[in-house]
Structure 1
Amino acid sequence: MIRSPSFLSYGPGTRPGRSPAKKSAQGITDYLRANDKMAALLPAITRMAALQQDCTAILPAIFDACSVIQFESGQLVFSTPNAALAAKLKQQLPKLQEALLQRGWQVNAIRLKVQVRKIVEKAKPVKQISLPVQAVSALASLTESLDDSPRNEALKAALSAMVNRHRSGR
């Protein structure tokens, strides 16, 4: 799968209202066309993207995690994230090769490479909620008005923590 660097996602020629995938593809295309040396890569990238798309259409469950990394002289090379997926894909290679031949791709051999990818977890956004002064005062009043019973203990602690957090944030 071809992934664009973040600086290309909103490149020249992109328009507001387009989907992120279209913005990304358009940004890459514009970048490649702007640079003569990079423009020579455009046909190869287009071909690889079309091949990736065909493979995903043929075996959608497997190709969500796999990607085409090379296609030269009839030899196709795929990247898989783990050995288990590579084993599943290996069982499907005859079906895939036949389907690609029917779609016009001259594939004589298919090789698999296991390439473990580093999983990057997205940082959880920090909540930036601020309560009005009246709301904080109302919560403080509620905390004081609750009975001191074991049943209300957890609620009072949570309300106190919320009031303290919002008072210290101001």
Structure 2
Amino acid sequence: MQSPQQPYRLNIKRGKKLANANEVSSFLRHNDKLSPLLPTVKRNLALQKECEKVLPPIFAHCAVLNLAEDQLILSAPNAAIASKLKQQTPKLLTHLQQQGWQISAIRIKVQVKKTVEKPQAIKQAIFSAKALDAFKSLEKTLPTTKENADLKQALARLLARNSSEPT
């Protein structure tokens, strides 16, 4: 919903997922004051796709900011990724020029506001019935001492997690 103070603000966030390019294009097409931005948005999206094609692992966290005066400006979320991207700029520049883009230089800006989320690791350890029996035996025979308390708790958690799973 648009507020009276900011009548042309587009809220492109939907939960954690960004609005797709079609939604942004549709919004710009149907808004007379913002429709002149549509060619720039389309150009930047095309450049973004070309860059992702050439540098998929690095460019997943980066974005095209602007193309002005034959200079492409890219954003990186941190200095480490910016450094890796800078090493790849000759390759990227050559590819873009071969694709017909009139670009003579590439600049990189570090913009920390875009966060890099690491995917949650999924534990996939599956124990055989023999292994689970060995852990049960260890838990039962382990002396109850102060030093063994954490180990006994860990064994109990491990056995509780794996008791309901099929073996």
Correspondent of 1:25 among 16, 21, 25? 21
Structure 2 Cα separation of the partners of residues 94 and 119 of structure 1: 26
Paired residue total: 109
- Please name the residue that 1:6 is paired with: 13
Quote the residue 2:30 is aligned against: 34
5+ residue gaps, structure 2: 1-9, 118-155, 157-167
Instruction: Go from structure 1 to structure 2 and tell me whether the alpha carbon gap of 1:55 and 1:5 turns closer, same or farther (over 3 Å shift).
Output: same
* Matched position secondary structure for 2:57: helix
Q: Distance in 2 between matches of 1:101 and 1:118?
A: 28
d(CA) in 1 for partners of 2:46 and 2:95?
14
CA distance in 2, matches of 1:79, 1:51: 13
Deviations 1:109-138 (A, max 9, x none): 1111111126498xxxxxxxxxxxxxxxxx
Q: How far apart in 2 are the matches of 1:45 and 1:107?
A: 17
Matched, 1:49 2:41: no
Consecutive unaligned residues of structure 1, counting only runs of 5 or more, are 8-19, 122-153, 155-170
> Is 1:61 paired with 2:78?
no
**Structure 1 counterpart of 2:26, which letter?**
D
SS in 2 for 1:105: coil
Q: How much identity, in percent, do the aligned residues show?
A: 49
Alpha-carbon distance in 1 for matches of 2:83, 2:108 = 9
* Pairwise CA RMSD: 2.8
Structure 2 CA distance for aligned equivalents of residues 69 and 118 of structure 1: 13
In structure 2, distance between residues paired with 1:78 and 1:120: 16
Could you tell me how far apart the structure 2 residues matched to 1:58 and 1:118 are?
21
Residue 88 of structure 2 corresponds to which residue in structure 1?
92
Larger helix percent = 1
